[in-house]
Amino acid sequence: MRKGIIRKSITLKLFIATSVFFIIFITTQLVLQSFFFQSFYTNKKVNTLKNNLEFLEKKYRITFKSAEGSISVIKKFEEDNNAKIVVLENNGLLSYITDTKEELKDSNKIRIIKAIIEQWTSNPEAFKNLQEKGNTITYIFNDPYYNLKHIVAIDPVVINNNVGKVLFAVSSLQPVDEAVKVMKEFFIYTYIIAIILILVLSTIYSKMISKPLVKINKTALKMAKFDFNEICAAHGEDEIGNLGDTLNFLSRNLKEALSSLQESNKKLKKDIEKEKELESMRKEFVASVSHELKTPISLIEGYAEGIKDDIMEEEDKDYYIDVIIDEARKMGVLVADMLELSRLESGTQKINIKPFIIDNIINSEVKKLNKINEDKNDKDRINILVDLEKEVEVLGDEDKIHQVITNFLTNAIRYTKPKGKIYITSKIYKDKLLVEVENEGENIKDEDLTKIWDKFYKLDKSRNRSLGGTGLGLAIVKNILKLHNSDYGVCNTDRGVKFFFALNKKDI
423 three-state secondary structure: strand
Q: What is the mean pLDDT of residues 439-458?
A: 86
Per-domain residue ranges for the chain?
43-172, 226-348, 350-504
Q: How far is Cα 395 from Cα 325, in angstroms, rounded to an integer?
A: 39
Could you tell me which of 496, 292, 484 has the C-alpha nearest to residue 405?
Answer: 484
Kindly report the average pLDDT of the chain as a whole number. Answer: 80
By the 8 A CB rule, do 337 and 469 touch?
Answer: no
By the 8 A CB rule, do 452 and 316 touch?
Answer: no
Complete DSSP assignment for 126-139: HHHHHHHH---EEE
Output the CA angle 497-502-505, nearest 5 degrees.
150
Q: How confident is the model at residue 5 (pLDDT cuts 50, 70, 90)?
A: very low
The amino acid occupying position 259 is: S
Q: How confident is the model at residue 465 (pLDDT cuts 50, 70, 90)?
A: very low
In this prediction, residue 496 carries a pLDDT of 94
Fold match, 43-172 / 226-348: no
CATH of domain 350-504: 3.30.565.10
Q: What is the mean pLDDT of residues 375-389?
A: 81
By the 8 A CB rule, do 45 and 131 touch?
Answer: no
Q: List, in order, residues 6 or more apart from 438 with CB less than 8 Å away.
A: 412, 422, 423, 424, 425, 493, 495, 496, 497, 498, 499
**Which tens digits make up the pLDDT trace of 57-66?**
888 777 666 6
The backbone torsions φ and ψ at residue 313, rounded to the nearest 5 degrees and listed phi first, read: -70, 160
Instruction: Rounding to the nearest 10 degrees, give the CA dihedral for residues 363, 365, 371, 374.
Output: -90
Q: Alpha helix (H) ranges present in 347-463? A: 358-374, 398-415
Q: How confident is the model at residue 501 (pLDDT cuts 50, 70, 90)?
A: very high
In this prediction, residue 463 carries a pLDDT of 41
197 three-state secondary structure: helix
C-alpha to C-alpha distances, 354 to 238, 344, 390, 400, nearest whole angstrom: 65, 19, 18, 12
Q: How far is Cα 216 from Cα 248, in angstroms, rounded to an integer?
A: 9
Other C-beta atoms lying within 10 Å of the C-beta of residue 190: 13
By the 8 A CB rule, do 345 and 337 touch?
Answer: no
Q: Alpha helix (H) ranges present in 64-151? A: 67-81, 101-104, 107-121, 124-133
Q: List, in order, residues 6 or more apart from 72 with CB less than 8 Å away.
A: 63
Q: How confident is the model at residue 8 (pLDDT cuts 50, 70, 90)?
A: low
Q: Is pLDDT of 90 > 80?
A: no
> Which of 147-156, 295-304, 367-376 is most confident?
147-156
List of long-range contacts for 226-231, beta carbons under 8 Å, 24+ apart = 226/258, 228/252, 228/254, 228/255, 228/258, 229/255
For residue 494, give the DSSP letter: S
C-alpha to C-alpha distances, 331 to 78, 218, 337, 467, 469, nearest whole angstrom: 140, 70, 10, 15, 11
The backbone torsions φ and ψ at residue 345, rounded to the nearest 5 degrees and listed phi first, read: -75, -30
Counting residues of the chain whose pLDDT is more than 70, the rounded percentage is 86
Q: How confident is the model at residue 20 (pLDDT cuts 50, 70, 90)?
A: confident
In this prediction, residue 211 carries a pLDDT of 76
Q: Which residue has the higher pLDDT, 9 or 479?
A: 479
The backbone torsions φ and ψ at residue 156, rounded to the nearest 5 degrees and listed phi first, read: -70, 140
Q: How far is Cα 230 from Cα 216, in angstroms, rounded to an integer?
A: 10
In this prediction, residue 487 carries a pLDDT of 93
Is the domain covering 43-172 a CATH 3.30.450.20 domain?
Answer: yes
Kindly state the helix (H) or strand (E) to which residue 194 belongs, with its residue range: helix 174-224
By the 8 A CB rule, do 245 and 235 touch?
Answer: yes
Pick left, alpha or beta for residue 384 (phi over 0 → left; psi -120 to 50 → alpha; otherwise beta).
beta
Could you tell me which of 432, 433, 429, 416 has the C-alpha nearest to residue 498?
Answer: 416
489 three-state secondary structure: strand
149 three-state secondary structure: strand
Q: Which of 34-43, 375-384, 448-457 has the lowest mean pLDDT?
A: 375-384
In this prediction, residue 290 carries a pLDDT of 74
By the 8 A CB rule, do 6 and 214 touch?
Answer: yes
**Which tens digits make up the pLDDT trace of 253-294?**
877 888 888 888 889 998 888 888 778 767 776 776 776 677
Q: Which residue has the higher pLDDT, 201 or 160?
A: 201
The pTM assigned to this predicted structure is: 0.46
Q: Is pLDDT of 460 > 70?
A: no
By the 8 A CB rule, do 426 and 435 touch?
Answer: yes
The correct CATH number of 226-348 out of 3.40.640.10, 1.10.287.130, 1.20.120.80, 1.10.3720.10 is 1.10.287.130
Q: How confident is the model at residue 378 (pLDDT cuts 50, 70, 90)?
A: low
By the 8 A CB rule, do 418 and 380 touch?
Answer: yes
